[in-house]
Amino acid sequence: NNIGKNEQDLWLQDEFRHEWADCTYAEVHTGHLHQEILFSEKGGITKRTNPTLKIIDKYEHDHAWSSKKVVLAYLWHKESNLREIFYLK
């Protein structure tokens, strides 16, 4: 499913109405970019981009792109939301 950037903020509410009504926290996690980014909190959804695990290739090197090459693990608490982000190499 290819969702445009403008539609990403509302797809959870539209596609999963019953689940949305019951949820306390909503986050959308995407990948591909070479750095961690907290985009925005819009419409009750936090959007995060996680860094890539991929090894830098020639094209990326030639464009001076780098990568943390880490896995992010998120720890949520039922009542106090996001508690910790772990950076696993």
Region of poorest pLDDT, from 7-11, 71-75, 81-85: 7-11
pLDDT at 20 over 70: yes
Contact at 8 Å (CB) between 28 and 48? Answer: yes
Query: Which of 76, 67, 66 is CA-nearest to residue 46?
Result: 76
Write down the mean pLDDT value for the chain.
Answer: 78
The tokens describing 53, both together, are 């695990």
Res. 6 pLDDT band, cuts 50 70 90: low
pLDDT at 16: 86
Residue 20 near residue 38 (C-beta atoms within 8 A)? no
pLDDT in the model for residue 42? 66
E-strand stretches of the chain? 27-30, 37-42, 45-49, 71-77, 81-88
